[in-house]
Chain A
Amino acid sequence: AQSVTQPDIHITVSEGASLELRCNYSYGATPYLFWYVQSPGQGLQLLLKYFSGDTLVQGIKGFEAEFKRSQSSFNLRKPSVHWSDAAEYFCAVGANNNDMRFGAGTRLTVKP
């Protein structure tokens, strides 16, 4: 079965600084990759997803992620972080079955 690793449990960045959240996956075939965000008191919301095609995908709220097959990675980036981006971010990998696996999450704190 597929698996996901998010190496960073907690990241703190200053408002306006750039952000990169790491995600590594393990799967034998081409994965379906997702990033979800869980804001305080709210449910999980999809930021972006990759199925095929262009390896750089754009999402909502100014986020993007790049699929790198050689590194088995799907890192999430944002050029300039806003205070409202403070949340928990989850990377997930799906397969051609009913199996979806989520990472443990990365908590983002934004300093003023």
Chain B
Amino acid sequence: GAGVSQSPSNKVTEKGKDVELRCDPISGHTALYWYRQRLGQGLEFLIYFQGNSAPDKSGLPSDRFSAERTGESVSTLTIQRTQQEDSAVYLCASSLAAGGTDTQYFGPGTRLTVL
């Protein structure tokens, strides 16, 4: 079946612009995660959605970052007034079950470059 997809695959933007990144999880997966991976670094947890529960936003680095999810489907990560330090690969993952105990399936990521 189809895996996790993300769009766009690459995004180049100017400092101060807003960007929107999209994630389509695997159908039937209730949990969805967003991570940030800066060059040469590990994955940094950003936000977690589980069904209709309130999302866990504890990893969002600033109020310029926000995310939404429609039910148990598509999620969008929005970064307002982008800064050069936001340049990174943004990864989305989904899992069948809730919590940090289930296998996560990752999308290919969106490479964001802020000039």
Contacts and interface: CB of A to CB of B under 8 A. Distances in A.
Interface stretch (B41-49, B63-71, B73-81): B41-49
A98 B48 contact: yes
B100 A99 contact: yes
Contact of B109 (A32, A43, A51, A95): A43
B33 A100 contact: yes
Most buried by A among B42, B103, B108: B42
B43 A97 contact: no
Given A43-B108, A44-B106, A94 B42 contact: no
B99 A49 contact: no
Contact of B103 (A42, A49, A102): A49
A44 B101 contact: no
B42 A44 contact: no
Interface string A77-112: 000000000000010111111111111110000000
- Name the interface size band of chain A: 20 to 34
A57 interface: no
Contacts of A94: 99-102
A99 B106 contact: no
A102 B31 contact: no
Contacts of A105: 41-42
Interface in A33-65: 34, 36, 42-46, 49, 51
A90 B43 contact: yes
Interface of B: 3-4, 31, 33, 35, 41-43, 45, 48, 50, 56, 91, 93, 98-109
Given A6-B42, A32-B101, 12 more contacts: A42-B108, A44-B106, A46-B105, A51-B101, A90-B43, A96-B100, A98-B100, A99-B45, A100-B33, A100-B45, A103-B42, A104-B42
